Chains A and B, each alone.
Chain A
């Protein structure tokens, strides 16, 4: 299956040399904790913009999106055109001025300045644990993939990938992680373009792919466009393989989950905060949005091609079976093996390895910042010299990688623990955007309101999940663990979207009620730079009118609308 030779290993080796070289070259610029943890706040917008989307384009995302492309078809683009893009526009135009303009060095620190210590603590600690586990899961997934397709030893893969990530993040900090994310971005694009080209050529072009997927959709009892159209099949949950209707998509995925992820997750926001100026910080998500809109063609279309190939027995392509269906997570590796000869195969695998490693590095660099500024400096040893915190940041990097290795082995031996943890994190993340929205746009919201709003939002998510279940679920991890099932959703995805909608609404309402019932602790003067109505509008210093954030946002919006209409 995998035609791998010396040239493939040479390509991987060249990549490893450059990754480590970048870290080594940046080492001498790491003089303060801000150089190490915040990239020295000096990086141009096009670099932070590419890193912004690239840190999310980790291999789990690439593999997951290709799997979704196979399972749900073109409708997976909802994660981009109605999900990420509006959220990225909102972040660039409305939220970035507060993140970048306030003295906050991290997202939890913004919460401390805007609300209080307990809201920050809740966010910082849950975020720190989450990043470590995400990094561990990336490492585990990489090792499993290398074991199954290349026959590499599981332990060796873990140790080698951890060591490389540790070396370059330890030497060059956030800047090194960002630079490598940009490198990885170009590798993914150039490595996957030939895959899409060969796949489409093989099935006879886009029109023939559509025809063949219409047959697949009809044979599953859906309407013909279920795999090839985006909004047309969203009328009711039973007419599309996602099992979701348009309202769940718009509110659950588009509004709550995407804004929650892209606007409040420090992993991505940190990239924008490392930009060299306010204008560059605001442009970061807008520049990132342009390639982001076209990534579906690189990662979702291969999944659709795979389904078309499977439906045609003469193609000789198949996926390994799993639980009575196919193991959709193998779409990308199996497609690489099917189409790429030795040489190009090395490039494809290197792109995949690069995205696994940058997924780890992104989490590690977000972890060490939150650990150093929001946990160590805030609660353990405040008031030390900057040298001290630089050292702590570096040690946190080592610590973060070591604990990730532990998490990777935990994932290997108790798969359920990982599912359980991811569920808990989903509960914690779901209500977050309500807190930020009220914090940034309603000066009356208070610390008590924010904290108890978050807590009840998280609890509401857990209760909703405990009282509902997706159709056909038997495991308690899928829901219904409170004993009675009040509502059965047509799919797991529908259940997730509605869990998020409930959590967000409860957090929003509770925050408002408790804020109104408690006294304000911050005066208008304190909230300057933190709340929209009390902050002077930022004047953009771009040289040309077309470089202004507003203009870029309009352009991004028009292209996204255009794509949505074409593939409706």
Chain B
């Protein structure tokens, strides 16, 4: 019954992941910004991690929906 939780989780992490990844790409080489994170572009890496996680959630939600339709 109701809403598949994986959809909102998937969408939220995809949106936030996209936001951070783009911001990370845009700020590449900004040494002042990334000095506190030991010179690592953590926005980019965390963004990519979130995109992968969000994508997985959406994939599983999509697969579950397809299986219900088959039945």
Binding site for B on A (CB under 8 A): 3, 7, 10-11, 14-15, 18, 21-22, 25-26, 29, 40, 42, 47, 175, 179, 182-183, 186, 190, 193-194, 198, 201-202, 338-344, 347
What residue of chain B has the Cβ atom nearest to residue A18's Cβ?
A: B12
What is the CA–CA distance of A201 and B45 in the complex, to the nearest angstrom? 15
Q: A18-B11, A194-B46, A343-B24 are in contact. Are A3 and B53 (CB under 8 A)?
A: no
The contact sample of 11 A-B pairs, CB cut-off 8 A, is A14-B15, A22-B8, A182-B9, A190-B13, A190-B46, A190-B53, A194-B37, A198-B37, A341-B42, A343-B27, A343-B42
Assess the B50–A344 pair: CB atoms within 8 A. no
What is the CA–CA distance of A386 and B46 in the complex, to the nearest angstrom? 47
What is the CA–CA distance of A251 and B45 in the complex, to the nearest angstrom? 44
Interface of B is mostly: helix
Residues in B with CB closer than 8 Å to A14 are: 12, 15-16, 19
What is the CA–CA distance of A344 and B20 in the complex, to the nearest angstrom? 7
Residues in A with CB closer than 8 Å to B15 are: 14
Assess the B38–A186 pair: CB atoms within 8 A. no
Interface string of B1-45 (1 = CB under 8 A from A): 111010011011101100110011001000001101110101101
Assess the B46–A347 pair: CB atoms within 8 A. yes
Q: How far is the CB of B45 from chain A (nearest CB, A)?
A: 8
Give the interface size class of chain B. 20 to 34
Quick one: which of B3, B13, B23, B49 contacts A343, CB cutoff 8 A? Answer: B23
Residues in A with CB closer than 8 Å to B19 are: 7, 10-11, 14
Quick one: which of A22, A183, A344 contacts B42, CB cutoff 8 A? Answer: A344
Assess the A29–B2 pair: CB atoms within 8 A. yes
Q: How far is the CB of B21 from chain A (nearest CB, A)?
A: 10
Quick one: which of A7, A15, A47 contacts B5, CB cutoff 8 A? Answer: A47
What is the CA–CA distance of A227 and B46 in the complex, to the nearest angstrom? 30
Assess the B1–A182 pair: CB atoms within 8 A. no
Interface of A is mostly: helix
What is the CA–CA distance of A344 and B34 in the complex, to the nearest angstrom? 11
What is the CA–CA distance of A25 and B34 in the complex, to the nearest angstrom? 39
Residues in A with CB closer than 8 Å to B5 are: 47, 179, 182-183
Quick one: which of B9, B12, B13, B40 contacts A198, CB cutoff 8 A? Answer: B40
Assess the B49–A190 pair: CB atoms within 8 A. yes
Q: How far is the CB of B43 from chain A (nearest CB, A)?
A: 4
Assess the A7–B12 pair: CB atoms within 8 A. no
Q: A182-B5, A194-B42 are in contact. Are A338 and B36 (CB under 8 A)?
A: yes
Quick one: which of A25, A42, A47, A339 contacts B1, CB cutoff 8 A? Answer: A42
What is the CA–CA distance of A186 and B8 in the complex, to the nearest angstrom? 12
Assess the A11–B16 pair: CB atoms within 8 A. yes
Q: A339-B37, A340-B42, A342-B33 are in contact. Are A186 and B9 (CB under 8 A)?
A: yes
What is the CA–CA distance of A432 and B14 in the complex, to the nearest angstrom? 44
What residue of chain A has the Cβ atom nearest to residue B30's Cβ?
A: A341
Residues in A with CB closer than 8 Å to B45 are: 194
What is the CA–CA distance of A183 and B3 in the complex, to the nearest angstrom? 14
What is the CA–CA distance of A205 and B36 in the complex, to the nearest angstrom? 17
Residues in B with CB closer than 8 Å to A179 are: 3, 5, 8
What is the CA–CA distance of A246 and B11 in the complex, to the nearest angstrom? 47
Assess the B2–A340 pair: CB atoms within 8 A. no
Q: How far is the CB of A98 from chain B (nearest CB, A)?
A: 26
What residue of chain A has the Cβ atom nearest to residue B7's Cβ?
A: A25
What is the CA–CA distance of A279 and B8 in the complex, to the nearest angstrom? 26
Assess the B43–A341 pair: CB atoms within 8 A. yes
Residues in B with CB closer than 8 Å to A10 are: 19
Assess the B43–A175 pair: CB atoms within 8 A. no
What is the CA–CA distance of A343 and B16 in the complex, to the nearest angstrom? 10
Q: A341-B34, A344-B43, A344-B46 are in contact. Are A175 and B11 (CB under 8 A)?
A: no
Additional A-B contacts beyond A340-B36, A347-B20 (4; CB < 8 A)? A3-B36, A7-B19, A21-B8, A186-B53
Interface centre among A26, A47, A194 (most CB of B within 10 A): A194
